[in-house]
Chain A
Amino acid sequence: MVNIDERRILEAFMEEVRELLETLNQKLLELEESPHDQDVINEIFRLTHSVKSEAALVGFKNISIIAHKMEDIFEKVRRNVLLVNKGIMDSLFSAFDRIMHLLNSAQNGIDEGSIDIIDVVNPLLEILNEKKAEAGSFTKPKEEKKQSDPNVSESTVLAFSVKKLDSIGAVEFTDIEKNQIEEGIAKGHKFYKVDFHIEDECDMRYPRAYLVYNNFENSGTVIKSIPDILNETNDEKFNSVTLFLLTSSNVDSLKSCADVDQVDKLDMYEISTKAINDKLNMDEAQGTNVVSEIDVESAEEIERKWAEEMMKNSSPELADIDGTNVINIADIKKEAKTANEKIAQKQTIRVDIERLDELLNLVGELIINRSRFIQITENVHENVSFQDLKTELEDATNELERISDQMQMKMMQARMVPIGNVFSKFPRMVRDLANTLHKNLHLDIIGETTEIDRTVIEHLADPLTHLIRNSVDHGVESPEEREKKGKSREGKILLRAYQEGSNIYIEVSDDGKGIDIEAVKAKAVENGLVTQAQISTLPLHEILNFIFEPGFSTKKEITNVSGRGVGMDVVKTQLEKLRGRIDITTKIGEGSKFTIVLPLTTTIVEALLVNVDRNIFAIPISVVEETLKVNINEIKDFDDYQIYNLRNETLAVINLSDLVGMKRKVNSTNEVFIVVISFERRRIGLVVNDLMGEQDIVIKGLDDVLKNNEGVAGAAVLGDGRIALILDTSTLVKAALKEINKLAKDYDVYKDDSGITLSSLYDSLNKGDIKTESKVTLAQHDDDRSKPAKNTPKNISGDEALKKINEIMNDIKNN
């Protein structure tokens, strides 16, 4: 088992590296835009370096290797020896993706070392080697690498020798370097001193020295270089270079490391164990070494010390709290692997310390408030006058209200994260998609600092991905097409987030071809979602809503990006789960805009509490349009549901008790309440026994056994301890409307003399479109519904429509 401390270290690593990688991704994209930006290049170099060392620290070998190679490339870019082009960027991106993949695998308990990385590392190596050829081309014509004969280079004959060395001399090693040496020796590696010399006439000595250094680094570990090749770049200083190398490679293969143009002399010295010990102990005797008594035989001991040293030197946060318990990181990884345990993706959040302090202040106030209440309780026993008690109690309660309101707000804020966390992955996605689809695209992002609840943000990534993908694939035309239409070749997609009131708006808009309404209509009829006759009466937004039906796609050919008709329905259900909605606006030839509307937080909701019999239900206030107190006789019974004439508009009304499957109970006064709720611009009335007022409620999830319960979104505990069930209004209303539509369909074959079908009447009624003065378009169906409507649609008034329904209903009842 992996213990908790070790786990924490890995978790900390994962989090850290993920953050690094996120920035790296962003910077890579920036680099592609402006390949000469030195700041960006330096930043990338720093990031790759950090990823490399972080990964190496916890023993993620493959991640470290890839990052190392990326670092090497940027080291060259940084010195202007290499210029990035599209090919290099592609290789870098695939390398980056592989690191992500390795990281995810590791998180899922798969050994990242077991995953092949050759295919992404090789292109990186090629880039590095090309560079080598280029460097050579300064002095001679560019030629392919010649490695067949390591002894003979084109222009130089490499003098080579290997000797034993019994004393290292006056070189100083740092503690970390010493530990590295000890560790290497313990593992059976040999320690070499390598001297090489670059031709005096050569004018590019540093790059050559670096190549040699890099080759050695690839076949071992270079402990130290003199001059320091990582910090010194002045050509003048790289005439003779000394490297200290730990390696298990044989001498012959090491020799080839120096096979670099214009390196003319290579001397290798194998340093004896005695010389090493002398060196290490001598320094210790001088009191500069913190490592005590080294027993070279004991590999374990050294590893432990190494780990200890690493903690002290590089990662203070990894040290155990009391500092006595040393954690061996190499072992952690091993154990994590053997246990093959998934490192639980703990949900963590970074909170501004100021926000926490504010919260703490409020807790302080709360405690003071508590003592006021205690005082009041004491006063009750001490016969304090009722009036005084009352005043005091009111005061204290007001204060408590203020404190708890503020705490709620601060707590909500603490859960907020900038939406940019989700947005950040899209530039890369758009870039890759545009490449695949041969489109010219620019993604603009506005409002990435908009804050949104943590739980919401996690579920936003998928819907947004779908929408953006759709815009790239279906929305924006190919450059040629755009040119023909007189638009700029480059398509634009805008991703914008902003807050308004207690809602967050996220827009995905493009300047593409827009949605073809006629195609949507045709498809909707073809899929049997609506009849030909009905569709002509539907308002635009309802037609556009068909896009969110499962299996709906107007795209004729299927691309590998999108167009299979899956996705948009998922987008909608996902957003509904977050209690959000999505609107579309579109103009043919000019583009489309998808607007997601989400509540600020999902855990606290303002709700209207209603009573049905003895049960309390909570209806989110956001869907409530108004409430009415009516006499039960004003509600016209209409078979399974009812209608109410609301200011001359027909409102379909449903008993909440019917919806939730309870018995209807009539109040003795014959008075009931109607809660008018709107849903996708449709309105429906819920009949309840009583209203209990508005209240902020904290949503509690229900246990899994109740999860499948349609219509109930959760529960809330009220102030008096009672439980209110929170209604999932969208599901309820959908179910209700389906019920009504089913009813309508049953009667649909019924045809009266005037040729009006009930289904079209009901539809108009549901939408509340029928007004007394307004005209309604009605169409007639034959029994065979596949045929188009027989008569021309004709207009009747809402009053007539209602009358008609009553007539028909009476007919049906009498038959």
Chain B
Amino acid sequence: MSDMTATSSNERQLILFTLGTGSYGIPIENVFEIKKMGDITMVPKAPKYIEGVINLRGNVIPVIDLRKRFGMDKVEYTKKTKTIIVEVKKRQFGLIVDSVAEVVTLNNSQIEPSLPTVSGLKAEFINGIGKLDEKLVIILDITSILQSNEEILIQE
């Protein structure tokens, strides 16, 4: 799977999802598939944002609760709760999000560099801010989020 930087055209396709009131996007190149919530096997003594591991067609992959990762309050899983399977540097992860909205195509002119005040996230975790009609979409840099051990907080 290609790296997100490899996008050559001036358009970007994003998977939109929500966490609380916020709207976020992940470049579609990183997304492997979207799954309903299934059994998660808890792993003792794992980092606290790791919810556990799941069986993805015979492979055991870790699942991260993005709410926990961003220091947000825990909510009950609902029917809308989804696991987005992403692939970064040949490693697969599941990301638990409140709901998955849609796939959108943004023109590069619709994307602005990160504004920390808007996103509540450090610039290194953001790939840009997309403007969709009146809505702001925070495009996450999934690679750096997964590789960082630092605590990441989002103010809701």
Chain A residues near B (Cβ < 8 Å): 615-616, 660-662, 700, 702-706, 709-712, 715-717, 721-725
B91 touches A660 (CB 8 A): no
A661 touches B45 (CB 8 A): yes
A723-B38 Cα distance, complex, nearest whole Å: 12
A712 touches B44 (CB 8 A): yes
A616-B39 Cα distance, complex, nearest whole Å: 12
A704-B58 Cα distance, complex, nearest whole Å: 18
A722-B41 Cα distance, complex, nearest whole Å: 8
Give the residue name and chain of the B residue nearest to A723 (CB): B41
Q: Is B104 an interface residue (CB 8 A)?
A: no
Q: Quick one: which of B60, B61, B91, B146 has the most chain A CB within 10 A?
A: B60
Residues of B within 8 A of A615 (CB): 41-42
B60 touches A723 (CB 8 A): yes
Q: Mark B137-149, 1 if CB is under 8 A from A, else 0.
A: 0000000001000
- Known: A706-B50, A722-B55, A723-B55. Is A662-B44 also a contact (CB below 8 A)? yes
Q: Is B24 an interface residue (CB 8 A)?
A: no
A315-B47 Cα distance, complex, nearest whole Å: 54
Residues of B within 8 A of A704 (CB): 91
Q: Is B93 an interface residue (CB 8 A)?
A: yes
A615-B39 Cα distance, complex, nearest whole Å: 11
B53 touches A723 (CB 8 A): yes
B62 touches A723 (CB 8 A): no
Residues of A within 8 A of B46 (CB): 705-706, 709
A715 touches B60 (CB 8 A): yes
Residues of B within 8 A of A715 (CB): 41, 53, 60
Number of A-B contacts (CB under 8 A): 64
Give the residue name and chain of the A residue nearest to B39 (CB): A722
Give the residue name and chain of the B residue nearest to A613 (CB): B42
Residues of B within 8 A of A662 (CB): 42, 44
Q: Mark B55-93, 1 if CB is under 8 A from A, else 0.
A: 100111110000000000000000000000000000111
Q: Is B115 an interface residue (CB 8 A)?
A: no
Q: Is B54 an interface residue (CB 8 A)?
A: yes
A721 touches B47 (CB 8 A): no
Q: Is B43 an interface residue (CB 8 A)?
A: yes
A721 touches B62 (CB 8 A): no
Q: Mark B82-121, 1 if CB is under 8 A from A, else 0.
A: 0000000001110000000000000000000000000000
A616-B43 Cα distance, complex, nearest whole Å: 11
Q: What is the CB-to-nearest-CB distance from B48 to chain A, in angstroms, rounded to a whole number?
A: 11
Residues of A within 8 A of B50 (CB): 705-706
A724-B42 Cα distance, complex, nearest whole Å: 10
Q: What is the CB-to-nearest-CB distance from A722 to chain B, in angstroms, rounded to a whole number?
A: 7
B60 touches A660 (CB 8 A): no
A700-B55 Cα distance, complex, nearest whole Å: 11
A102-B146 Cα distance, complex, nearest whole Å: 39
Give the residue name and chain of the A residue nearest to B93 (CB): A703
Residues of B within 8 A of A660 (CB): 44-45
Give the residue name and chain of the B residue nearest to A715 (CB): B60
A600-B106 Cα distance, complex, nearest whole Å: 55
Q: Quick one: which of A615, A703, A712, A722 has the most chain B CB within 10 A?
A: A703
Residues of A within 8 A of B54 (CB): 723
Q: What is the CB-to-nearest-CB distance from B50 to chain A, in angstroms, rounded to a whole number?
A: 6
A615-B45 Cα distance, complex, nearest whole Å: 14
A711 touches B45 (CB 8 A): yes
Residues of A within 8 A of B55 (CB): 717, 721-723
A724-B53 Cα distance, complex, nearest whole Å: 10
Q: What is the CB-to-nearest-CB distance from B126 to chain A, in angstroms, rounded to a whole number?
A: 21
Residues of B within 8 A of A709 (CB): 43-46
A702 touches B45 (CB 8 A): no
Within 8 A of A (CB), among B15-39: 39
Q: What is the CB-to-nearest-CB distance from B93 to chain A, in angstroms, rounded to a whole number?
A: 7
A709-B91 Cα distance, complex, nearest whole Å: 18
Q: What is the CB-to-nearest-CB distance from A1 to chain B, in angstroms, rounded to a whole number?
A: 15
Name B43's contact: one of A700, A716, A717, A725 (CB within 8 Å): A725
Name A711's contact: one of B44, B47, B62, B92 (CB within 8 Å): B44
Residues of A within 8 A of B41 (CB): 615-616, 715, 722-725
Q: What is the CB-to-nearest-CB distance from B111 to chain A, in angstroms, rounded to a whole number?
A: 29
Q: Can you sample 16 A-B contacts with CB below 8 Å? A: A615-B42, A700-B59, A702-B43, A702-B53, A705-B47, A705-B62, A706-B50, A706-B62, A712-B44, A712-B45, A715-B60, A721-B39, A722-B39, A723-B54, A723-B55, A725-B53
Residues of B within 8 A of A705 (CB): 46-47, 50, 62, 146
A509-B41 Cα distance, complex, nearest whole Å: 46
A706 touches B44 (CB 8 A): no
B43 touches A706 (CB 8 A): yes
Give the residue name and chain of the A residue nearest to B56 (CB): A717
Besides A709-B44, A725-B53, 7 other A-B contacts (C-beta < 8 A): A661-B45, A702-B62, A704-B91, A706-B53, A711-B45, A723-B55, A723-B60
Give the residue name and chain of the A residue nearest to B38 (CB): A721
Residues of A within 8 A of B92 (CB): 703
Q: Quick one: which of B42, B44, B45, B55 has the most chain A CB within 10 A?
A: B44
Q: Quick one: which of A615, A702, A705, A717 has the most chain B CB within 10 A?
A: A705
Q: What is the CB-to-nearest-CB distance from B94 to chain A, in angstroms, rounded to a whole number?
A: 11
- Known: A660-B45, A661-B45. Is A703-B58 also a contact (CB below 8 A)? no
Give the residue name and chain of the A residue nearest to B62 (CB): A703
A348-B100 Cα distance, complex, nearest whole Å: 42
A709-B58 Cα distance, complex, nearest whole Å: 21
A212-B146 Cα distance, complex, nearest whole Å: 68
Residues of B within 8 A of A706 (CB): 43, 46, 50, 53, 62
Q: What is the CB-to-nearest-CB distance from A762 to chain B, in angstroms, rounded to a whole number?
A: 25
A702 touches B47 (CB 8 A): no
Residues of A within 8 A of B53 (CB): 702, 706, 715, 723, 725
Residues of B within 8 A of A616 (CB): 41
A705-B63 Cα distance, complex, nearest whole Å: 10
- Known: A706-B62, A715-B60, A723-B55. Is A661-B44 also a contact (CB below 8 A)? yes
Q: Quick one: which of B45, B54, B58, B92 has the most chain A CB within 10 A?
A: B45
A703 touches B91 (CB 8 A): yes
Q: What is the CB-to-nearest-CB distance from B59 to chain A, in angstroms, rounded to a whole number?
A: 7
- Known: A706-B46, A722-B39. Is A700-B60 also a contact (CB below 8 A)? yes
A717 touches B44 (CB 8 A): no
Residues of A within 8 A of B91 (CB): 703-704
Give the residue name and chain of the B residue nearest to A662 (CB): B44
In the A-B complex, the 5 residue pairs with the closest CB atoms: A660-B44, A723-B41, A715-B60, A700-B60, A661-B44
A717 touches B45 (CB 8 A): no
A711-B53 Cα distance, complex, nearest whole Å: 16
Q: What is the CB-to-nearest-CB distance from A356 to chain B, in angstroms, rounded to a whole number?
A: 23
A452-B53 Cα distance, complex, nearest whole Å: 31
A289-B55 Cα distance, complex, nearest whole Å: 63
Give the residue name and chain of the A residue nearest to B44 (CB): A660
B60 touches A717 (CB 8 A): yes
Q: What is the CB-to-nearest-CB distance from B148 to chain A, in angstroms, rounded to a whole number?
A: 11
Q: What is the CB-to-nearest-CB distance from B140 to chain A, in angstroms, rounded to a whole number?
A: 17
A703-B58 Cα distance, complex, nearest whole Å: 14
Residues of A within 8 A of B146 (CB): 705
A703 touches B44 (CB 8 A): no
A724-B55 Cα distance, complex, nearest whole Å: 10
